[in-house]
Amino acid sequence: MVDETIWQKRVRRCVHELKPYSPGKPIEEVQRELGLSEVIKLASNENALGPSPKAIEAAMKALMQAHLYPDDSCYRLKRAIARHYDMPEECVLIGRGSDELLLHAALAFIEEGDEVIYAHPSFVMYNIVSTLMGAKQHVVPLKDFTHDLEAMAEKVNEKTKLIFIANPNNPTGTIVTEPQVRQFIESLPEGVLVVFDEAYCEYVEDKSFPDTLSYVREGYSVLVLRTFSKIYGLAGLRIGYGFAPPQIAAYLARVREPFNVSSVAQAAAEAALQDTEHVERSRKLVIDGKNILYKAFEEIGLRYVTTQANFVFVDLGTDSRSVFQKLLERGIIIRTGEIFGMPTWARITIGKPEELERLIEALKEVLR
């Protein structure tokens, strides 16, 4: 029999400090629990249009070779990404989702007692990977719903190893601009790696959004992360990518597990990257959809944050968990704000027009 008291002492201290990640409810679970046949999920910032048909075709073809190990080097996909972004191949990293590349950065560079800096509220994985490595964490509050880079810079010292910046930020959808970012990275001492988490960058309309790949080309100590989970619609295949100067990329490659990205994911991602028409349709859906939500929130009298991503952060004016439950009973899943320390707020993914209309009508009912 397992003796819990013994294992409590065996487990690393940092694991005791970890809080398991809480994902949104899957559609199937809601259908089982509530006996609903039709459920709309607007909680996890997935692409409402799904994957590119070309990606599906490539994935099905790759399944025929499922008995073989995948290409460990991700040669074809790495070459395709390098060409797509006009970047050297030695700067390209491929991971099992961009989450894995966040973990690689922590594994490669953080030792117990080192320090990291990130904003709050922001993506919860920064806390998870930092806690796992025993880092001291400086958590800087957002200013006007966006990163306060000046305050973050003030936290930098000789023990600082990593700085995480979600741009656009999750859950607020806000960005920091090219002039702000340029000034920030030029102020940092050598030996501090800035991780730009750009999972939602393809949705950005603001022309002042920074070209972080230029920082990689110029040799700054940066790691730029992207994903195939959002605009490319491949969240279920778990594949992401990133860019770093060759010296930094080489260290990150050392902590990568062998065969970490499946053949199916590699094939689908390569095809998705080439289907620019699907990407543009996905962008247009979000641009049109956020305007639908803005208008509805204003009519209802709800405060919201203007977004550069595929979700909107909105203040429901009451406990969002209560609203979540009432929407759930109507077959609609949203993301409540208590995980971000903002209990009256919710993050709502921009779905198809008919899904948004159903959400709006339900919100009018439950907030009446």
Q: Which amino acid is at 204?
A: V
Please list the residues that pair with 164 across neighbouring strands. 195
Instruction: Convert the pLDDT of each residue in 186-219 to its tens digit.
Output: 999 999 999 999 999 999 999 999 999 999 999 9
Q: What angle do CA 98, 101, 105 make, to 5 degrees?
A: 145
End-of-domain residue from the set 248, 273, 298? 273
Domain boundary among 205, 239, 273: 273
Examine residue 181 and state whether it is found in any structural domain, yes or no.
yes
pLDDT digits (tens, 9 = 90+) for 133-163: 999 999 999 999 999 999 999 999 999 999 9
The pLDDT-based confidence of 299 (bands split at 50, 70, 90) is very high
Is residue 365 packed enough to be buried (19+ CB in 10 Å), middle (13-18) or exposed (0-12)? Answer: exposed
Which among 256, 273, 290 is the end of a domain?
273
Q: Are residues 337 and 247 in the same domain?
A: no
Cβ proximity of 126 and 162 under 8 Å: no
Look at residue 2 in the predicted model and tell me its pLDDT.
84
Same domain as 301, residue 352: yes
The average pLDDT across 337-349 equals 96
pTM: 0.95
pLDDT band at 67 (very low <50, low <70, confident <90, very high): very high
Q: Is residue 58 part of a domain?
A: no
CATH of the domain at 179: 3.40.640.10
Q: Is 292 in the same domain as 163? A: no
Domain limits at 288?
Answer: 4-50+277-366
Tokens of 297: 């929130």
Tokens representing residue 363 in the block: 């919100």
